[in-house]
Amino acid sequence: MINDMLRRVIALVKKEFITTWKDPRSRRIIIALPLMQLLIFANAITMEVKNIDVAVLDRANTVESRELLSRFENSPRFRKFYYVENESLLKNKIDNQFVQIGLYINNDFSTNIKKKTPASILIISDGRQTNSASIASAYATQIANDYGDEISNVSLQLNPTVRNWFNPNLEYRWYLLTIIVAMLALIITLLLTALSIAREREMGTFDQLVVSPLTSFEILLGKTLPPLVIAMFLTVIMTLIIIVFFKIPFNGSAILFLISVFISLLSITGVGLFISSICKTQQQAILGVITFQMPAILLSGFISPIEDMPQFLQHLTMLNPIRFFMLLVRGIFLKGMSFNDVFYNLIPLVLIAILTLSLAALTFKRKLD
Amino acid sequence: MKILFALIKKEYLQIIRDPSSIIIAFILPLVSILIYMYGINLDTVKVTIGIKNDDANPEISTLVKSFGHSKYVKSIVYDNQEAVENDITRSKIRGAVIIPNDFSKKLSKNQPADFIIITDGSEVNTANYVQNYSLQIVNGWLMASKYKNISTKALINPIVRVWYNEDLNSHYFILPGSIAVTMTLIGILLTALVVAREWERGTMEALLTTQAKKIDIVLSKYIPYFTLGMMSLSFSVFMCIVVFKVPFRGNLFILFFVSGLFFLTASGIGLLISSKLKNQFLASQVSLSIGFLPSLMLSGLMFPINSMPLFFQYLTMLLPPRYFISFVESEFMAGTVWRIVFINSVFLTFLATILFIAVYKNTDMRLNK
Amino acid sequence: MLTVKIKNLTKTFNNQIAIDNLSLEIKKGKITGLIGADGSGKTTLIRLITGLLVADSGEISVLGINPALNKEKLNPKIGYMPQKFGLYEDLTVEENLKLYADLKNLPYDFDKILTFTKLAPFVHRLAGALSGGMKQKLGLACALMGTLEFLVLDEPSVGVDPISRKDLMEMVKNLINPNTTVLWSTAYLDEAHSFDISVVLDKGRVIYNASPNDIAKNAQEFEQKVIDLMGGYHKSASKIAQNYPNLDSEIICRVEANNLEKKYGDFYAVKNNSFCINKGEIFGLLGPNGAGKSTSFKMMCGLIKPTKGSAKIMGIDISDNPSKARSNLGYMAQKFSLYGNLTLKQNLDFFASVYGIENDRKKERVEEIVEIFDFKNIQNQKAEELPLGFKQRLSLACAIIHNPPILFLDEPTSGVDIIARKEFWNHIKSLSKKGVTTLVTTHFMDEAEYCDRISLFYKGETIALGTPCELKKRVGANTMQEAFVNLIKESER
């Protein structure tokens, strides 16, 4: 009995592997595209703002103003400096995006400093690129403040010590890469699962499966295992890449990590199979995937923290497997999360997996007509 | 001409028959814009910070309170170091401020007073917020307290002006920018299967023996999905301006002209995938794999392109949304800036032409097997 | 006058020769039938003639044009209907017609064509919702449009009932002008016998090219001659049946339908359908396209839920315990529905395992099947690349791989060559002697004669039930074909 079942499931698993993995074109897509994206994102993306170009209108043109500007010039974050003569040229440089920020020093700059009254310096940032502009203007403010502190000789009252746990230098890449691994794993799993049943429906082969002695449960099992194994394999490869080539510290337990990846991928497989089971064509299936995938990524806490979202969306993210997946990957990687903490975050994933997989299995049967 | 019209009409009829195209074109942008509007916030992020005060001086309890009064901080008071550490690992709090028992003593002696800011470095963005907010709150408290040192007065006063976005509302650039990411996805999804489907269903074989020329076949795929996409794009723009009240300072005519160029590139990518692969399964896999993440991560919407290593800056030049984001943000926020319109249009035209040629070359007029 | 002139044409796919140094001339104004065994190169030849494929070597000229070089000049002069006809299933009948009229630069004048095809009442129906026969008619109607010089049809009558087949023939004969040349590939030899010229292909070569009347006076005789040309059919004991286990069971009524009914909205697809198929019986379900045969079929194996009534297999109700009921079943769907991206052998392996053949027996079984069905040379080809006839054989092979006591075969021989069909029925006959119960649909009326009992289906209802002899006697017909037509006419009254 069990043997028969096992045989059927193995046959199905084998068939699935042949279709997705043995086919060289399909395999190339599944392996190459995610890995390529990993390498590009890992190397390209940074939150640090560099190569800032600046337009300067120095109406004071004094020792002090030139000293301040030389601080800017010596900062590695700033690149080109355009010295302009008047306001309209300054505006022109900013309007046309030759520069990201503009500096304006009024002609009373040095006199104010000598009078010991605060001397203003205007930092104009290009609000069209708000994200990087606000970071660039923060750098500029910092430089100006430091210079101000230096010439005013104030004694510091506070002496804060900042300790950045788990990532002492706040390397953005550490954070980003753990998240990208989770995102790419999500994408791989969805594209492996969401098409599988819809495609069989379109080709007419699903009828053949239904008429065979395969039970719904066996079909579900046969459809779950291959994508899970492939996605698991690719996730491990990506993890090794970020550890070996990008030197991201792995502080947690490898076993806990593998278990978490497994359960996360299982829950995503459930979502993918559920989408696939309700779709008649592949066109509908990719639509289904995108309608899930886009919100899932945007609302995962990666771009903007979850506690910052409206209450309604916060509740909705409880259904988002990628939210917990990212938390676990990052937590185990960087924080070395303990068993208890991992377990706590796995519960929602297990629930999502149970819910979606059973929905998928139910829909196989329902959709016969 | 008549043949082209007939083929275009056929394509429209198919669009009407299959609700998934309509859903892709109108529901997807709606969902997406709602998510960017309500789920994503880059201006002022609210973070949860733990505070542990070891200084028994009643004056310092006002400092603990001022953490509670901040708009941007949700504070949790701890009296146990271990609990603080556990909650950071668990991501319950994003960081903590620890006030040592000699804090008030040092302040009254006019010595620099030590305190510790701990951040959860595994999430770099929130770690920065924790650091900045904590420093601001402690500073603010100090300025209002009896410990305030009279001589503390900075001589340089940097004033930051954000041009084009005086309200500092990140949605003013995120919403228009997100249109580029969503429309890339929609352009690919709408078109990626339409050629492959004809090959699989055998309708292409019949079409190839009619009088339809290659250019008819190519244009009959471009035109319907282009118009559908432009409707979808207009819908998104309408939502931005009318419903979400994003200020629009540019020229609608120019906006639509450049949008058209952009959508030509987006549908070109989809058609290229479709005509090259001639297989719905593979085309779906490719479009799911590259449809969303590259344009989200590399287009400049979230991460600055200027700061990338040079090679990757060049690589982003292949991404159409990069140009559209640069254009659309400027057109919305600063009005028409001819240099920006021109540069981006030139690149988009160039990409659209290359893609069109590639689609044309990859449209086979014979069977391979 | 010649329409097609081919000299020493060769075409290979992955080192397999499809067309082998072939020379052929097709005369203008004649209907030429193209026949041949599965995989003999019929479709490849047609695609070379239409310019959809380009030959490796040799000369080809169609209407004085080289299709490999000037396909676009040739296109306006020919009408082509591929095997998988290029209908847009999500467009209505009228929209399809209009599209092809526009593509051929013709006015929207469909009255004649609609009357002929009897499609007039369905102009607003989606093409995908038409029955098989009507789809073919619509496909042919699209291909026939305009004043054509050359009409090329690749098996237009596959899966079409005898009445519709006649209609197709009438359509072609009436809607072309006397100067039009027709190249018509078919598996129906009665059809081929009625054409002016017969071209028989074998392994990519022409082995016969003359009038069918030169060698045979009637269709039956012609069939025998073609079989001889193709190497002859030697009836031998069926190996499948030899190795079949004996199927002992108390149940007499192996397959049972009780008042099956399927209603879509107000429309009865199947109404009040009851029958009982005994052990070892071959039960034929006959009827025109769209009569509800496939719907009955799908209800019998639980792919469609009946609105009323029940279906039992080996005494087990299909809706109560589908898994158990189906384990007794070998099912072959009408449309090819195996895994196209798996090789032939991988498909066999898969279905062998799914149907519970133990691993040690499996290899042996698959090899046996490969031998019986003559799959040796093609077992590592992808299923989607096989010629139609071989696809059908593979589907059948997968259906019987686990020695089921019951076979459900929906048009198992559509598009299969004559020798393979004879072999196939030899197997079924032998199996029935071993106690295998078969439910089968077919459009080949000669095949209907093999059935023990026939249920004639029309407009969702059984209009006659009995042995082939009884049915013929009832309407005083000599052949099954005649009986079929007459019985349907009778019920129309």
Superfamily of domain C239-328+404-492: P-loop containing nucleotide triphosphate hydrolases (3.40.50.300)
What ipTM score was computed for the predicted complex, to two decimals? 0.91
More confident call, C95 vs B166: C95
Query: Which of the other chains make 3 or more beta carbon contacts under 8 angstroms with chain B?
Result: A, C
Which residues in chain C (284-303) have CB-CB distances under 8 A to chain A?
Answer: 298, 301-303
Residue of chain B whose alpha carbon sits nearest to that of C14: B369
Asked if C78 has any chain B CB less than 8 Å from its own CB, the reply is: yes
Residue of chain C whose alpha carbon sits nearest to that of B213: C72
Taking an 8 Å cut-off on Cβ atoms, the answer to whether B367 and C47 are in contact is: yes
Q: Are C198 and C210 in contact (CB under 8 A)?
A: yes
Residue of chain A whose alpha carbon sits nearest to that of B307: A50
CA distance A213 to chain C (A): 5
Q: Is A58 helix (H, G, I), strand (E, B) or coil?
A: strand
Report the alpha-carbon angle B324-B329-B335, nearest 5. Answer: 115
**CA A197 from centroid of its chain's CA atoms:** 29
Using a cut of 0.95, tell me whether the model's pTM lies above it. Answer: no
Candidates B9, B205, B215, B220: best to mutate against C (most CBs of C within 10 A) is B205
CA distance C108 to chain B (A): 12
The whole-number pLDDT of residue B146 equals 82
- Rounded to whole angstroms, the Cα distance separating C491 from C471 reads 13
The whole-number pLDDT of residue C109 equals 87
The whole-number pLDDT of residue B302 equals 86
The whole-number pLDDT of residue B369 equals 56
Q: What would the mean pLDDT of A25-34 be, rounded to a whole number? A: 92
Residue A366 scores a pLDDT above 50:
yes
Residue of chain B whose alpha carbon sits nearest to that of A49: B307
* Cα atoms in the Cβ-side hemisphere of radius 13 Å centred on C280: 12
The tokens for B4 are: 């082209």
Taking an 8 Å cut-off on Cβ atoms, the answer to whether B206 and C86 are in contact is: yes
Candidates A72, A197, A283, A297: best to mutate against B (most CBs of B within 10 A) is A283
The whole-number pLDDT of residue B211 equals 87
Taking an 8 Å cut-off on Cβ atoms, the answer to whether A294 and B135 are in contact is: no
List of chain C residues whose C-beta atoms are within 8 Å of the C-beta of residue B224: none
CB pairs under 8 A between A and C: 76
Taking an 8 Å cut-off on Cβ atoms, the answer to whether A215 and C323 are in contact is: yes
The residues of chain C scoring below 50 in pLDDT are none
The whole-number pLDDT of residue C105 equals 85
- Rounded to whole angstroms, the Cα distance separating A12 from A299 reads 35
Percentage above 90 pLDDT, chain A: 59
Domain boundaries, chain C: 2-229, 239-328+404-492
pLDDT band for A304, please (50, 70, 90 cuts): confident
More confident call, A242 vs B112: A242
The whole-number pLDDT of residue A4 equals 81
- Rounded to whole angstroms, the Cα distance separating C300 from C331 reads 11
Q: What would the mean pLDDT of B177-197 be, rounded to a whole number? A: 93
Cβ atoms within 10 Å of A167's Cβ, excluding its own:
22
* Closest CB from C47, C95, C143 relative to B13: C95
Asked if C68 has any chain A CB less than 8 Å from its own CB, the reply is: no
Asked if A305 has any chain B CB less than 8 Å from its own CB, the reply is: yes
Nearest to C399 by CA among C335, C367, C366, C355: C355
The whole-number pLDDT of residue B150 equals 61
Show the domains of chain A with their CATH numbers: 52-152 (3.40.190.10), 167-366 (no CATH)
The whole-number pLDDT of residue A130 equals 62
Q: Which residues belong to CATH 3.40.1710.10 in chain B?
A: 47-144
Residue of chain A whose alpha carbon sits nearest to that of C395: A208
Q: Which positions ≥6 away from A109 have C-beta within 8 Å?
A: A59, A60, A62, A64, A65, A119, A120, A121
The tokens for C125 are: 């129906």
Residue A222 scores a pLDDT above 60:
yes
* Closest CB from B3, B17, B365 relative to C71: B365
Taking an 8 Å cut-off on Cβ atoms, the answer to whether A11 and C349 are in contact is: yes
The tokens for B23 are: 């859903």
Q: What is the per-residue pLDDT across C17-38, written as a single tens digit (0 to 9) for each?
A: 999 999 999 999 999 999 998 8
Q: What is the per-residue pLDDT across B190-203, written as a single tens digit (0 to 9) for each?
A: 999 999 999 988 89
Q: What would the mean pLDDT of B43-56 be, rounded to a whole number? A: 87
Q: What is the per-residue pLDDT across A55-70, written as a single tens digit (0 to 9) for each?
A: 999 999 999 899 999 9
Using CB atoms within 10 Å of the CB of residue A123, give its burial: 0 to 12 exposed, 13 to 18 middle, 19+ buried: buried
Taking an 8 Å cut-off on Cβ atoms, the answer to whether B161 and A125 are in contact is: yes
The whole-number pLDDT of residue A368 equals 52
Q: What would the mean pLDDT of A286-310 be, rounded to a whole number? A: 90
Specify the residue for token string 């007073």.
B113
**CA C328 from centroid of its chain's CA atoms:** 26
Q: What is the per-residue pLDDT across A95-138, written as a single tens digit (0 to 9) for each?
A: 998 998 999 999 899 998 888 888 889 999 988 876 777 788 88
Q: What is the mean pLDDT of chain A?
A: 90
The whole-number pLDDT of residue C347 equals 93
The whole-number pLDDT of residue A365 equals 66
Q: What would the mean pLDDT of B177-195 be, rounded to a whole number? A: 93
Q: What is the per-residue pLDDT across C165-207, written as a single tens digit (0 to 9) for each?
A: 888 898 888 888 888 999 999 988 889 999 999 999 998 999 9
Taking an 8 Å cut-off on Cβ atoms, the answer to whether C338 and A11 are in contact is: no
Sign of CA dihedral C154, C156, C157, C163: negative
Candidates C52, C56, C85: best to mutate against B (most CBs of B within 10 A) is C52
* Closest CB from C329, C338, C354 relative to A214: C354
The whole-number pLDDT of residue A21 equals 84
Taking an 8 Å cut-off on Cβ atoms, the answer to whether C104 and B206 are in contact is: no
* Closest CB from C85, C86, C99 relative to B6: C99
Q: Which positions ≥6 away from B159 have C-beta within 8 Å?
A: A120, A121, A122, A123
C232: left (phi over 0), alpha (psi -120 to 50) or beta: left
List of chain B residues whose C-beta atoms are within 8 Å of the C-beta of residue C53: 366-367
Residue B368 scores a pLDDT above 80:
no
The whole-number pLDDT of residue B276 equals 94
Q: What is the per-residue pLDDT across B66-84, written as a single tens digit (0 to 9) for each?
A: 988 888 889 999 988 899 9
Taking an 8 Å cut-off on Cβ atoms, the answer to whether A37 and B294 are in contact is: yes
The tokens for B322 are: 């990069």
The whole-number pLDDT of residue A369 equals 44
List of chain B residues whose C-beta atoms are within 8 Å of the C-beta of residue C47: 367
The tokens for A69 are: 């500007």
Q: Are A328 and A346 in contact (CB under 8 A)?
A: yes
Asked if C150 has any chain B CB less than 8 Å from its own CB, the reply is: no
At the topology level, CATH places domain C2-229 in Rossmann fold (3.40.50)
At the topology level, CATH places domain B47-144 in abc type-2 transporter like fold (3.40.1710)
The whole-number pLDDT of residue C87 equals 87
Residue of chain A whose alpha carbon sits nearest to that of C302: A211
- Rounded to whole angstroms, the Cα distance separating C437 from C255 reads 8
Residue of chain B whose alpha carbon sits nearest to that of C54: B366
Q: Do you know the residue count of chain C? A: 493
Nearest to B73 by CA among B49, B91, B92, B50: B49
pLDDT band for A49, please (50, 70, 90 cuts): confident
Alpha helices in chain B (DSSP H): 2-17, 19-22, 28-38, 58-69, 81-89, 103-108, 124-144, 171-192, 194-201, 203-208, 214-238, 252-277, 280-290, 293-298, 310-315, 320-333, 338-362
The whole-number pLDDT of residue A255 equals 95
Asked if C90 has any chain B CB less than 8 Å from its own CB, the reply is: yes
Pairing relationship of beta strands B95-99 and C16-27 according to DSSP bridges:
unpaired
